[in-house]
Amino acid sequence: MAMNKNTVLGWATTIMIIMGLIIIALAIYRYDDVAGWGFGAVGIGFFAIAWVFNALKGRV
């Protein structure tokens, strides 16, 4: 399977979305104290980076 730049960015976007969902789920179900807010912020950050990767597809 040939992996060009767009394929790599697509896989990176998918992995970042999955990891963001896992981190947000940890924030909701595992951590009820202040650490949950930190985990939630990091999960939202993962979504932001995934959005950038998705926007870069086709441009590099």
**Rounded mean pLDDT, 25-30:** 90
d(CA 22, CA 44): 11
pLDDT of residue 36: 87
pLDDT of residue 4: 86
| Segment holding 20, helix H or strand E | helix 5-29
pLDDT of residue 5: 83
Token pair for 10: 């697509």
pLDDT of residue 45: 93
What percentage of the chain reaches a pLDDT higher than 90?
A: 48
d(CA 4, CA 16): 18
d(CA 59, CA 3): 16
DSSP state of 33: S
